[in-house]
Amino acid sequence: MKKFVAEFKEFALKGNVMDLAVGVIIGAAFQNIVTALTSDFITPLFAALTGKTDENGGIVIGGTFTFRGATFNYGDFISSIVNFVIMAFILFLLIKGTNRLMSVGKKKENTTPTTKMCPFCRSEVHIEATKCPHCTSTIE
Ligand SMILES: [Zn+2]
pLDDT tens digits, 29-61: 878 887 888 778 777 776 677 666 555 555 455
User: How many structural domains comprise the chain?
Assistant: 1
From the CA of 115, how far away is ligand 1's center (Å)? 13
Ligand 1 center to 114 CA (angstroms): 16
Residue 134 counted as domain residue: no
- What is the 138 CA–ligand 1 centroid distance (Å)? 8
Is the predicted pLDDT of residue 131 greater than 90, yes or no?
yes
CB-side neighbour CA atoms (13 Å) of 61: 19
Which pLDDT value is given to residue 106?
63
> Is residue 35 domain-resident?
yes
Within a domain: residue 131? no
Is-contact 116 127, C-beta < 8 A?
yes
pLDDT at 88: 83
- Tell whether 127 is covered by a domain: no
Q: Which domain holds residue 109?
A: 2-113
Neighbours of 61 (CB within 10 A): 24
Query: What average pLDDT does the structure give for the chain?
Result: 77
Q: Length of the chain in residues, anyone? A: 140
Residue 68 CA, ligand 1 centroid: distance in Å: 88
Q: 131 alpha carbon to ligand 1 midpoint, in Å?
A: 8
- CB proximity list for 63: less than 8 A, separation 6 or greater: 52, 73, 74, 75
- Which of residues 54 and 115 earns the better pLDDT score? 115
H helices of the chain, where?
Answer: 2-13, 16-37, 43-50, 74-111
| pTM of the complete model | 0.42
Domain harbouring 76, CATH code: 1.10.1200
Please list all protein residues whose beta carbon sits less than 5 angstroms from ligand 1, which is an ion: 118, 120-121, 123, 132, 134-135, 137
pLDDT at position 125, please? 92
Q: Is residue 6 included in any domain, yes or no?
A: yes
- Distance in Å, CA 93 to ligand 1 centroid: 48
